Structure 1
Amino acid sequence: MTGWGQVLPFFVQGVEVVDAGLTGSSSRSFVEAGRLAWILENIAPGDVLLVSFGLIDMKPGDGRFTEPFGDYQWFLRQYALGARERGAHPVFVTSHERRAFDDHGNMRRPLGLYPTAMRELAMSLSVQLIDLNEWSVARWRQAGPEGTKELFLHLEPGEHPNHPDGIADNTHLRGHGAMECARFVAGEMCAKGLLTPEYFRNLDARIPEAAVEFLDDDVFEQITKERVGGLAPMAGNAGLT
């Protein structure tokens, strides 16, 4: 399992990339766990904050769900305004689409209104938007039901020691898919002038999946524990937009 933020440094140079993403987080649960507070405690003027949620926000019944044009937008607003209050630059990135095809090979769009809600809020707040969702829909359609298995976490039994029985995950990416998404995001950052061109590299290079590195488990656990801020969770008015 590989996130596009994890591999973004392959395409950006001369700046520190801090991947603060946490698997299984929604825009709500990330805030309520104090992880946005940690970001806002450490962010500096001139920094760029990439904000991407939606894949988990749509899951009901576990304390992570948000309504697209309700509390989803409310929480996204906290990321954008919090960054701006500290002199940083928020950027919304719509979530990549899930791998979802019907029996005839037609791609479905289970994320529904979440990308639209993010686009609407970006426009109303004048926040830069990178539309990874729309790009991914075109890319997944091009690859088709079989080709997208090379982008998502689809493994045969015995193919990887972490999944001895195999896995068919249509939400999370593997290295190839993460690289393609990160390349698109970096290219859009360059095109939109979020950083000047000298900060980008490898935008046309094919980087092998084997180049992806992972933290040791104990280091990962330590960082996860440390990245919780001391500010009170901002959930009191979660229904407001």
Structure 2
Amino acid sequence: MNRAKAGRSTRTFVSEQRWQQVDSLLKPGDFLLMQFGHNEGSVPDTTKAGRRGVLRGTGNETKELGHHETVHTYGWYLRQFVRGAKAKGAKPIIASMIPRNEWKDGKVVLADQDFGRWAAEVARQEGVPFIDLNGLTAAQYNHLGSEKVSSFFPGDYTHTNADGARLNAASVVDDIRDPRFFSQSRVRLPATGAGAVMPVIDHGQVVPRPHGVGHALSGFSTDADAYQHLMHGLMNILTESINLVRQNEKLIYVDGGFARNPLFMQLLGQNFPEAKKPYVRGVASHRPGRPHSPGTG
């Protein structure tokens, strides 16, 4: 059932009673997929230009608009939707907004420092699945190039045509099919310039999620962008492994080529600041004829 409405923000979805309609329809076991972010950017007020605007961030700050309305942060509204769905026994899923047709230095401009990041923060805080559609779509757009991507936006820089919609819908379906989709260790904040689930370049094709170290290595290229994607992809795999072994109070070991890779070790330190040299050692890479180290997968 599609209850989305064009041009609405999290704020107007509430003020127009649209969330109340959705809430009244929810039943135990339902899945609720929500995506907001395109319409929240204006300064919140009661004018036509500002009626959709919200406060930035995920905190509990408010703005009183006289006797008319109390405006909250983007994250606050998302939390109300998530918690309302959970109260009905439904299963909420948050998706970040798709990128607009805006480019800088040959790459799509991401929302990884505002609405895309805040959506991920709420998903992580509330313990619900997150689809980083902003990052996944950006990876696809960057691969296709600005000329091809512009053909998806015949009217403006926000709304795609049917071809663009199918591409983005396919990314959603593919992400939901991930066996790890409901794993909370999978929900991480987007890194600057990249999605929460980093893609790798595999023989010229964009692969949104590496399914293992060997799979990621098969896409390695001397191209600088592909190298960055690869290292982030490997960090995602390591993150998943570390979170799993932490649950069993076991250690994870990293050594070999990865331990001497400055970017990889920098990412490790950012994701796991408690990691010390005695903790980060052993073997995490897999080579033909050489078994995996225990706990690394």
TM range (shorter): 0.5 to 0.7
Cα shift at 1:39: 0.5
Residue of structure 1 in register with 2:170 after alignment: 183
TM-score by length of 2: 0.52
Structure of greater relative contact order (alpha carbons < 8 Å, 6+ residues apart): 1
Q: Is the 8 A contact 2:10 2:78 kept in 1?
A: yes
2:96 is the alignment partner of 1:94: yes
Alignment counterpart, residue 65 of structure 1, candidates 26, 35, 53: 53
Query: Secondary structure of the residue that 1:64 maps to in structure 2?
Result: coil
Listed one character per residue, the Cα deviations across residues 130-156 of structure 1 (whole Å, up to 9, x for unaligned) are: 11011011112122221112222x1xx
Cα shift at 1:31:
1.1
Normalised to the residue count of structure 1, the TM-score between the two structures is 0.63
Gaps of at least 5 residues in structure 2 are 44-48, 60-72, 183-297
Q: What is aligned with 1:37?
A: 20
What secondary structure, in the 3-state scheme, does the structure 2 residue paired with 1:191 have? coil
CA distance in structure 2 between the partners assigned to 1:26 and 1:99 by the alignment: 20
User: Matched residue of 1:99: which SS?
Assistant: coil
Contact 2:99 2:108 in 1 (8 A): no
Q: 3-state SS of the aligned residue for 2:99? A: coil
Check conservation: 1:98, 1:111, Cα contact below 8 A.
no
In structure 1, distance between residues paired with 2:121 and 2:21: 27
| Contact 2:93 2:129 survives alignment (8 Å) | yes
Moved over 4 A (4+): 192-195
Q: CA deviation at 1:68?
A: 2.6
Seq. identity, %: 28
Which runs of 5 or more residues in structure 1 are unaligned?
Answer: 1-17, 155-166, 196-241
Matched, 1:23 2:12: no
Cα deviations by residue, 1:69-95 (Å, 9 ceiling, x for unpaired):
341010001110010000000000011
Q: Matches of residues 47-126 of structure 1 in structure 2 within 5 Å?
A: 47-60=30-43, 61-66=49-54, 67-70=56-59, 71-102=73-104, 105-109=106-110, 112-126=113-127
Q: Is the 8 A contact 1:97 1:111 kept in 2?
A: no
Per-residue Cα deviation, 1:154-195 (whole angstroms, up to 9, x for no partner): 1xxxxxxxxxxxx3x110111011111111111222225779
Count the aligned residue pairs.
163
Q: Is the 8 A contact 1:93 1:129 kept in 2?
A: yes
| Root mean square deviation, CA, Å | 2.0
